[in-house]
Amino acid sequence: MSEAERKPLTYAEREAKILELRAQHGEIEILELRPEDERSDAPPDCIAPPVVVLRAMALDAFVELQHLDSQRNQGVDFPNPRMITRPLLECVALGLDEAEAELVEAPMFEQDMMSAIARLAGAMREDISVEPVSEIHGKGPIKIAAAGVELEFKRMGSFDYSHARSAVGKHRAGLSGFLSPLALLAIVRNQAIDLPACEALLKRYPAIVQPIGQILWVSADSRARRRQGK
């Protein structure tokens, strides 16, 4: 990073940079590091408080991050804490030095970054929902409305269910009952009838992977258990 990029930005320079990043990346998230110092009436040439600007994370990277975070929530202790922070820092479009310093000084900032990345992925948004349109225990394709788009998925036959169970077991990492987001992504991709359309929507809103995958897995797993009970 050049000295010019490291120097503090004025309000005008910061706003211009944010507009540039919006044009480059589309949706972004802005995390104010010193909100108490923000001044709406500040002159444009006044030095602005630092901010961290985040761009959206790619689909597979986001699901991998969810997998790691879910493991951590299950009690897995990672020998290298940067397994979580590294992919977050890779999404910083402005304020990388400030973000790294904040993670050291205020560890809870990691959660702020996680929440921002999740919002960019379509989570915690009222305008983005996932709901089954067809009966999940019926016959024919499973239709799911996700982010206003209707997607169709094959119901799992014995081969597909075996493939799904293999994915679930592969990513379980010794955690009983753990349903990894990575396994759910594999299930969604394997069962999608129109994979290009599904993939395009997943790339736009990676957070919809888990609810779609859970619908497909629950439908197949409960069906298999009912058959075993006969």
- 3-120: which CATH topology? rbstp2171 (3.30.2220)
Domain layout of the chain by residue ranges:
3-120, 130-229
CA angle 77, 59, 168 (to 5 degrees): 55
Q: Is 32 exposed, middle or buried (0-12, 13-18, 19+ CB in 10 A)?
A: middle
Per-residue pLDDT of the chain (230 residues; tens, 9 = 90+): 444 456 899 999 999 999 999 999 999 999 999 999 899 888 999 999 999 999 999 999 999 999 999 999 888 888 887 899 999 999 999 999 999 999 999 989 999 999 999 999 999 888 899 999 988 777 889 999 999 999 999 999 889 999 999 999 999 877 888 899 999 999 999 999 999 999 999 999 999 999 999 999 999 988 877 776 54
pLDDT for residue 138: 74
The pLDDT of residue 5: 55
Q: Which CATH architecture has domain 130-229?
A: 2-Layer Sandwich (3.30)
101 CB burial (10 A radius; 0-12, 13-18, 19+): middle
pLDDT at residue number 79: 82
142-181: burial string, b at 16+ Cβ within 10 Å, e else: bbbebbeeebbbebbeeebbebbbebbeebeeeeeebbbb
Supply the pLDDT for residue 144: 96
* Alpha carbons 70 and 169: distance in angstroms, whole number: 15
C-alpha span between 215 and 157 (Å, rounded): 15
Q: Please tell me if the domain spanning 3-120 has the same topology as the one spanning 130-229.
A: yes
